[in-house]
Amino acid sequence: MSHQPRFQSLVQLHETREREARRQVGELERQRYTVQLRIDALLEERLVATNGTSVQAREQLTRYWIHIDQQLVSVRAIIGQLDKDIEKSRRVLAEIHRAHAIFIKLQEQDAKHERQRRERQDARRLEEFASLQYINRREMHR
């Protein structure tokens, strides 16, 4: 029978939860980065369209800018929501990390107390053995 340290299941559970929370934060940050790239591309596209536009194309350019601005508003709203989601996920990760650290500490303290208990038990057994040896020697010399 393998002996599993106390709190091991809780430590493993929190390790798994922490890994999942880190993955969630990373995924949200990746999504935010992708959306930010889209914003940068739209701004660059608008800048490029402005350069070299003739006077005749200004009306068309204005409609194009309005279209780009609507896309920017939409994409920036996504960034805002992702920022909120990332912050929430980071708070969850921090809570899980704290709980994980608590259970690791409890497990370490439990292992220390178990070692101390075994050492005291071994010391008592050694004292009993020595006492019996002493009694046996004394009785042999009688």
Structural domains in the chain, CATH included, are 8-140 (1.10.287)
> In percent, how much of the chain has pLDDT > 70?
94
End-to-end CA distance of the chain: 47
> Please, which pLDDT band fits residue 2 given cuts at 50, 70 and 90?
low
Q: How many helices (H) and strands (E) in the chain?
A: 2, 0
How wide is the angle at C-alpha 104 spanned by C-alphas 99 and 108, nearest 5°?
145
Q: How far apart are CA 38 and CA 73, in angstroms?
A: 12
Whether pLDDT at 4 is above 50: yes
Residue with tokens 């912050």: 87
Amino acid, single-letter form, for residue 105: K
Is the pTM of the predicted complex or chain greater than 0.85? Answer: no
Mean pLDDT of the residues in the chain: 89
Report pLDDT digits (tens) over 77-127: 999 999 999 999 999 999 999 999 999 999 999 999 999 999 999 999 999
